[in-house]
Structure 1
Amino acid sequence: VILKPKKLVPTISIVVILFIGFWYNSKSTTFSDKDLYEILTYYEIEDELLYAIF
């Protein structure tokens, strides 16, 4: 069965998303508060939110 390009792109993107999800879950999932703080400050989350979390 030959897929048309219009059907091929969503299929490939779904496979890539699933692969990234599995790869990310297989990594170490231990986050310290410091790591979480650095991630949130990197994305410039509002200071009020950071104070509420910590």
Structure 2
Amino acid sequence: MAEVKLLQKNITESPAKKKRHGFTRKCASLVQEQRARIYVLRRCATMLLCWYIQGDD
């Protein structure tokens, strides 16, 4: 019985709510991707800087 109510609730959601939820999910995905890219760039820059500093010896 609870499953039927849950399914009915999902069906009765307005399209605007679904669209906003999709927009939020897409923004969150883009933010996560950018954070990952910044993390990789930071690690690469740190590694290159360490190599540069050690090369001065």
Instruction: Please state which band the TM-score falls in when normalised by the shorter chain.
Output: 0.3 to 0.5
Higher helix share: 2
Instruction: Give the structure-1-normalised TM-score.
Output: 0.47
Structure number with greater CO (CA < 8 Å, separation at least 6) is 1
Which has the larger Rg? Answer: 2
